[in-house]
Structure 1
């Protein structure tokens, strides 16, 4: 019998769609396109996942087939018809022709989303920063000695990432059933020392792993935010009542000194209005008074306004919204309500609350510790997609503000190790002051912005540092715009072999609309591959506005077209296959039902923009000011025809391009300049390793009064998308798409060599336009299209407004 014992160190990509096959055998098994590429490159042996037809584990017949082909080592999954093994090209061809084989896929490496979570928040940077080690007595900051109560469904202390009795210092089972109590008043009792209190949910175990799991069962790969913290589990089971919830607070307060409890995380809630007399709010206020920082999930009832967890609205707690890994807000994350709040008194002290989260943290596809339960079994498909096969028994994926909240709890533990004297109010203040702006969102949606663990811990070490001066939440702006947006959904049954009219959708634009933004998703086969399509809006006069050829279609499925001040009348949205690019020379997209949305924005009023009326960029300026992508001057002017200055660009990138803040090291230096020049400036650079998003070598050489060129703007916007590696890999001529052909940029030699890749991507992503001319000689049968970029041309503030709103609509909106 074959012995399947080999374990592989990279994440398996287990999918079941197909593009092309190794040969044309009928009924052939699907072969991974990445595997085909590896074969073409001449590799001789491949780590693969072989999937058989069937519902359960691989059968004896399946294993006999492998043995006949000389495939004699690997691992079989217990409940899925899959085998991971090593094969040759000849063996792949034999497997493809066997009717029992469903697919053969490379054991490919993917992004690990829990790694992404600790990367994008800056937790990993905290652990590896030498200066922080020095400030922490030579030891990395891990939350050591900080007690964190996980007030949830329970914690599986038998999971080695929690290590009951060591890392999980106490595990408590809630033991309150009002129907079973004797008819007399009795003191509350807890069942302590229970190895596993999470036997029917898995929710609390996942939360605990995100707070501070050690990652032992994954070699540290799926480590939590504060692996040095002391965890205290308080388990209420799958059915949670208010008595259960406040029991967790009661236990935390009672045992605060015994376990050094400084944080309590609560990934649960309700609906309704805030009431300071609610027993949950009373309990959380009591914990706050004892110096325990209380963290609550904002809720999963988004994206509508007024969906905020009422327990998260208390001004003494930290409400956490859920973000995507790209720096945007998850649709399901609950929102507060604009302008809603109030003032009340408790024991003579005045408190003011606002209906808004405090901060946003990663909450989508979070990988953390798993217990055996029906809930974790529901994530089986996503687990297979995202988690290393060898780690599947120990980890699972979940999404929600429930997952975002323990991220923040772990970061708070890091802050409290750095500075044990911080009060809960100071912790909340530092978290918000160190946050990263989230373009296009209001505070009632995301609070101060995306959490920045590195800056928050740095602020905790030295509270005299002046973080917060770049956070939009704390700014006063010169210009204001009021507008309303309506949305219309549409779909196109795209087929490249049908008539053009079959791939179109018509819609009306009324007079007075300031902008229209069209967005579609080209997901490709089974929502995995991306579809090489182009979205084009056609105006009533025939003018076309394109989403661009996007060489990134496998990275970014969405196509976006923004049109400012669109003419009224009947418009057409058309789906076309990308043509003329090396990546898609045939020029045909995949048949697919393309779903999209149209957003129509109408400006109802504005102030502080007295000089834009009638300007071609007026609508873009209004939209950008509304979304806090940039601002006007304090004299009520925008100066759309004035040159954009380097200092202005630095400020606007931090405002509206998802740039992490840092402090200036120069006397009287600008935090905006320091932020754009730092390594890992862009929030979309999850690992914090890429160069800054502006070109100066240092703050000392940065001249804020210099004008910005078009090539420099291309660099800044593309770099802000975290695409440094892709830009630097671009080779060949700089070209631009014009209708169905690629046109070479005529003045490409004027583009600095190191910026050519950035200009190429800026053109392909339709962030910055090329200038087209049509030339036709007297005897030419057809005109010749020429294109220029003018890389050294100075960017006006109006030009920037157009580029920045396109950038925002395509990648943040």
Structure 2
């Protein structure tokens, strides 16, 4: 991988020349060989599908093709616009290519992960495009957001990029003209510079956002296509420096030109900090757009994981606030959170509104590949790009992370919904997104909203509003059991100075017995509270264990530093501020003296309700944790009944509650929970939505009141982790680890062959236990260890609580 990264960084120097039509060759540079190709060669394979890249800015030259023929490569695909050839080679031919100074790289034609194609598969966008029923409902055409106007209110859009080309897909591109200092001393109407081909000449942020909304993917043969490639994009660019006037100018333009461009959506990947204020001009502007039928989206912010970090403009009840998720269905650490239980009621224009300090929905926001600004060339994410993007596509795409990337994904989903049903109001759009979301295990609504966005279900609901969605969403549930907790906060400050003693940069505090979680947060605001300061917050436990916030490369923009510790030990802790000591250690520079202010939050479980029969039970702690994280629930009579057998209907309910299972609208009379667990591609962990359901039915009979045995539970939990392919690869007898040895499971023959791989994985992941026995006769030198799994034994509800909490830990990894 080191060779690939080095090549890409060097090619960044070449790219400016290539954009000017100048070709340069460095004869001293070695040909880069992809690490996966090197591994394949080392494994002894004889032939390799590869991509050969030459130096140049256009299609391969006649000399390039002659070179290949001279070393015996006479078949393959030569690209039309890029200097690349796809072909099949031998090791000897690759060795010959290494000696040619016109060859830039040779890479295995492998399947890549963590790009925009993953995001659109994960959220069901790809499923929308390929679903035959949706195509028929849409007049025979795939749902692409056709004709829906989406305003990208951002740094600008580079309309020279073929994926979002000005005059075609980008129907209008506007440069803000709001420099108050340059105006003559008179009142003038605000003006805009329209028809500007490239308005993103500084950061590339807006171009990336636009590509996520609706890039065509032309420069990647559709691979990095945006969510709504049929939408009409309208760019409103404010440049690198964004002020309130710039921001509301975007709303003003959208409202003024709504009819001209059929503007139905405006996406905003920017914000601020502080409390929600309905009188803030940005909130007023977003409300006016809402009143005109424009759906407004805001990024939740990148100041997580601490509480009370939510973008105030995203808190308006008429907008959609988008949190950033990982592609494994969890929440990104940096994604801003709201504040539990905080909100209020206010009146605007004679109408009463209620707001809550929480996001609306979560969408993919980590390592998102989208359109790269073409001029000037941007290479801010060179290392990550080299890791995740094929060399052929590097000039056209780049990688970014943030709620800024999650927000345009949802904006694209909204465009799909509006094509399916143009009559939807902004309130209905928001509601449908919430009602079709997927529950996210271990998170509450103040962190993730209703859950992970489900594009397929949202568009399906838009087509047919009579379908049943929302009844399985945790935020809509009334639970029988609850675990209560309280949070107290304490302010502190440290007069940080890098040249003083370590103890002078510390703050000591006490953690009492019984605290369930500790969260510390500080702000490194820097000089004049404008520059940011590269400081690190470290919590030191009584035993010396350290927990660090780290220092973001974006410390100049995001000042928050947060550390979270679960189940902290009691005793005296220290919060220490550390700074970087020099450019040799880190390019961020040296931290400067500053009075750093922060808060400490202590959360303690104070009791539980609806669980009257768990005291003293061996599974009691797991039951409490499971209820707290909404993985399980008790009965209406305040009992959990831990020694009762778990039913299949209960398992279906709990999997949808806490295993990341997508909703399904079934035409059968099955419950929504059962429909969800039986559907293909049920789990969030199945990004491509191609695996079997997470529960099995026999001849169409679900048998909801029947008990669940241990082998079937192993299947459901392992399948919920998206491990079908790995489970099906297993062959042989089931074994289990016991100290330093693997022990064969004695009743392995009792496990159905189709489930053995699932049982093996459940044992290896420590989700379900085997039972060991140790026998040693009076004359035996060593004992004999045996293990049994008891695959046909009924699972008790207490057993399930233990297994489900272990599943939860595996899900979050």
Partner of 1:551: none
TM-superposed CA distance for 1:375, in Å, is 8.4
TM-superposed CA distance for 1:738, in Å, is 1.0
Pairwise mapping of residues 440-479 of structure 1 onto structure 2 (< 5 A)?
Answer: 440-479=442-481
TM-superposed CA distance for 1:812, in Å, is 2.1
1:12 and 1:108 in contact (8 A); partners too: no
Distance 1:788 1:610 in 2: 33
Partner of 1:559: none
1:301/1:374 Cα in 2 relative to 1: closer, same or farther (>3 Å)? farther
Distance 2:99 2:167 in 1: 54
Distance 1:648 1:302 in 2: 34
Partner of 2:176: 174
TM-superposed CA distance for 1:12, in Å, is 13
For structure 2, which runs of at least 5 residues remain unmatched after alignment? 8-31, 56-63, 79-83, 489-510, 519-565, 572-601
**Residue 43 (1) aligns with residue 46 (2):** yes
TM-superposed CA distance for 1:387, in Å, is 1.1
Distance 1:51 1:800 in 2: 57
Partner of 2:116: 114
Pairwise mapping of residues 500-515 of structure 1 onto structure 2 (< 5 A)?
Answer: none
Partner of 1:190: 192
Pairwise mapping of residues 111-510 of structure 1 onto structure 2 (< 5 A)?
Answer: 111-372=113-374, 376-483=378-485
**Residue 779 (1) aligns with residue 779 (2):** yes
Distance 2:607 2:186 in 1: 65
Partner of 1:702: 702
2:434 and 2:450 in contact (8 A); partners too: yes
| RMSD of aligned alpha carbons | 3.7
Partner of 2:735: 735
TM-superposed CA distance for 1:604, in Å, is 2.2
1:453/1:770 Cα in 2 relative to 1: closer, same or farther (>3 Å)? same
More divergent stretch after superposition (463-472 vs 451-460): 463-472
TM-superposed CA distance for 1:695, in Å, is 1.1
Distance 1:390 1:83 in 2: 10
Describe the SS at the equivalent of 2:378.
Answer: helix
1:612/1:141 Cα in 2 relative to 1: closer, same or farther (>3 Å)? same
Which string of whole-angstrom CA distances, capped at 9 and with x for unpartnered residues, describes residues 80-110 of structure 1? xx99997643567899999xx9998745332
1:434/1:94 Cα in 2 relative to 1: closer, same or farther (>3 Å)? same
Describe the SS at the equivalent of 1:337.
Answer: coil
1:155 and 1:197 in contact (8 A); partners too: yes
2:47 and 2:88 in contact (8 A); partners too: no
TM-superposed CA distance for 1:261, in Å, is 0.4
1:424/1:733 Cα in 2 relative to 1: closer, same or farther (>3 Å)? same
1:707/1:289 Cα in 2 relative to 1: closer, same or farther (>3 Å)? same
**Residue 713 (1) aligns with residue 713 (2):** yes
Distance 1:380 1:240 in 2: 25
| TM-score, scaled relative to structure 1 | 0.77
Which string of whole-angstrom CA distances, capped at 9 and with x for unpartnered residues, describes residues 177-220 of structure 1? 10000111111111111111111111111100100111111111
TM-superposed CA distance for 1:465, in Å, is 2.0
Partner of 1:676: 677
Distance 2:778 2:568 in 1: 35
1:207 and 1:368 in contact (8 A); partners too: yes
1:379 and 1:396 in contact (8 A); partners too: yes
Partner of 1:545: none
TM-superposed CA distance for 1:664, in Å, is 3.0
Partner of 2:756: 756
Pairwise mapping of residues 78-97 of structure 1 onto structure 2 (< 5 A)?
Answer: 88-90=90-92
| TM-score, scaled relative to structure 2 | 0.77
TM-superposed CA distance for 1:167, in Å, is 1.2
Describe the SS at the equivalent of 1:382.
Answer: helix
Count of aligned pairs: 678
Which string of whole-angstrom CA distances, capped at 9 and with x for unpartnered residues, describes residues 330-380 of structure 1? 000000000111111012110010000000000001111111367831111
TM-superposed CA distance for 1:111, in Å, is 1.6
Describe the SS at the equivalent of 1:376.
Answer: coil
Describe the SS at the equivalent of 2:430.
Answer: helix
Pairwise mapping of residues 581-592 of structure 1 onto structure 2 (< 5 A)?
Answer: none
TM-superposed CA distance for 1:44, in Å, is 3.8
More divergent stretch after superposition (771-780 vs 793-802): 771-780
1:392/1:102 Cα in 2 relative to 1: closer, same or farther (>3 Å)? closer
Distance 2:261 2:723 in 1: 45
2:4 and 2:34 in contact (8 A); partners too: no
2:114 and 2:368 in contact (8 A); partners too: no
Partner of 2:500: none
Pairwise mapping of residues 657-676 of structure 1 onto structure 2 (< 5 A)?
Answer: 657-667=659-669, 669-676=670-677
Which string of whole-angstrom CA distances, capped at 9 and with x for unpartnered residues, describes residues 592-640 of structure 1? xxxxxxxx99632100000000000000000000000010011000000
Distance 2:131 2:214 in 1: 19
TM-superposed CA distance for 1:42, in Å, is 3.9
**Residue 788 (1) aligns with residue 791 (2):** no
Which string of whole-angstrom CA distances, capped at 9 and with x for unpartnered residues, describes residues 144-173 of structure 1? 111100001111111111121121111111
TM-superposed CA distance for 1:75, in Å, is 13
1:510/1:291 Cα in 2 relative to 1: closer, same or farther (>3 Å)? closer
For structure 1, which runs of at least 5 residues remain unmatched after alignment? 1-10, 18-28, 53-62, 77-81, 487-508, 517-563, 570-599
2:49 and 2:86 in contact (8 A); partners too: no
1:350/1:750 Cα in 2 relative to 1: closer, same or farther (>3 Å)? same
Distance 1:751 1:215 in 2: 47
Describe the SS at the equivalent of 1:321.
Answer: strand
TM-superposed CA distance for 1:381, in Å, is 1.3
1:153 and 1:237 in contact (8 A); partners too: yes
Partner of 1:524: none
Distance 1:485 1:314 in 2: 25
Describe the SS at the equivalent of 2:673.
Answer: helix
Partner of 1:744: 744
1:205/1:43 Cα in 2 relative to 1: closer, same or farther (>3 Å)? same
1:337/1:512 Cα in 2 relative to 1: closer, same or farther (>3 Å)? closer
1:303 and 1:333 in contact (8 A); partners too: yes
Partner of 2:690: 689
Distance 1:402 1:643 in 2: 46
2:472 and 2:656 in contact (8 A); partners too: yes
1:102/1:424 Cα in 2 relative to 1: closer, same or farther (>3 Å)? closer
Describe the SS at the equivalent of 2:429.
Answer: helix
1:679 and 1:691 in contact (8 A); partners too: yes
Distance 1:313 1:740 in 2: 54
